[in-house]
Amino acid sequence: MLFHKPYGVLSQFTPEDGARSLAEFDLPPGVYPAGRLDKDSEGLLLLTDDGPLIEQLLHPRHQKPKTYWVLVERVPDEAALQRLRDGLRIEDYTTLPCQAQLLQPQPQVAPRDPPVRVRKSVQDVWLEITVVEGKNRQVRKMTAAIGHPTLRLIRRSIANLQLEALAPGQWRAIAREDIQWGDMAAAGSQASAGTTSRRPLGSPVISARRPGAWFHKGR
């Protein structure tokens, strides 16, 4: 399943410390996140019922490009963007080279609830950043390291899988063969592959239902 995780929602089915969880959304039973997004991040989250596939997707040797739209404070100059591209020291590691550019034209993105803090005297801009790592809050730490704190972060793609027109809280099914990176398309159990939807990657959303129709707890 491709799911557009809204802001403020945990990447898990069990609520914690009063935060919202995936249990609020009309997701099929038995699926689990393959990876995660922080509670204060938004965008594409992949879920599946195939445990071996999740393990393979999360293994560090399978470096998958992940693209984010990142709203940052003030306009970075080319030198700052090049620092991101080259890799920079963050805490106890150095990031791998990445792609980073100012989005031109700036995208029209629906407002967030709650809204992003706006200062009239400071111009905020959207960057597009593509990384192949998945360290904790890495993109936020990267932009902070060049002096441009992240105000909002939306994951737009994981390898060939795209967020496209999914609205926050919506999901759609994809087929195993739609996952195209390395040997991932053929990975996992034959049983799961035999029951996976064969709906093509570009098919319309099959669930745009409001959250709360029914719940899956304790997953």
What is the per-residue DSSP string for 114-142? SPPP--TTS-EEEEEEEES---TTHHHHH
Instruction: Please indicate, yes or no, if residue 88 is contained in any of the structural domains.
Output: yes
Residue 69 carries which side chain, given as an amino acid letter?
A: W
In whole angstroms, give the CA distance from residue 57 to residue 63: 9
Q: How far apart are CA 89 and CA 127, in angstroms?
A: 20
**From 38, 40, 178, 183, the catalytic residue:** 38
> Which portions of the chain are predicted below pLDDT 70?
181-219
pTM recorded for the entire structure: 0.82
Residue 64 falls inside a structural domain: yes
Question: What digits encode the pLDDT tens for the residues 102-129?
Answer: 999 999 999 998 999 888 889 999 999 9
Evaluate whether residue 105 is within a structural domain.
yes
**Strands 124-131, 2-5: pairing kind:** unpaired
Q: Is 38 a catalytic residue?
A: yes
Has residue 195 been placed in a domain?
A: no
Q: Which two tokens stand for residue 176?
A: 């195993």
Structure tokens given for 55: 């393990």
Report the CATH number at residue 38.
3.30.2350.10
> 128 lies in which domain range?
2-188
Listed in order, strand segments (DSSP E) in 74-215 are 89-90, 93-94, 99-102, 124-131, 150-158, 161-162, 171-172
What is d(CA 153, CA 148) in angstroms, rounded to the nearest whole number?
13
pLDDT of residue 182: 59
Tokens of 194: 């035999």
Contact predicate 186/108, CB 8 Å? no
Residue with tokens 């071996």: 52
Q: How many structural domains does the chain have?
A: 1
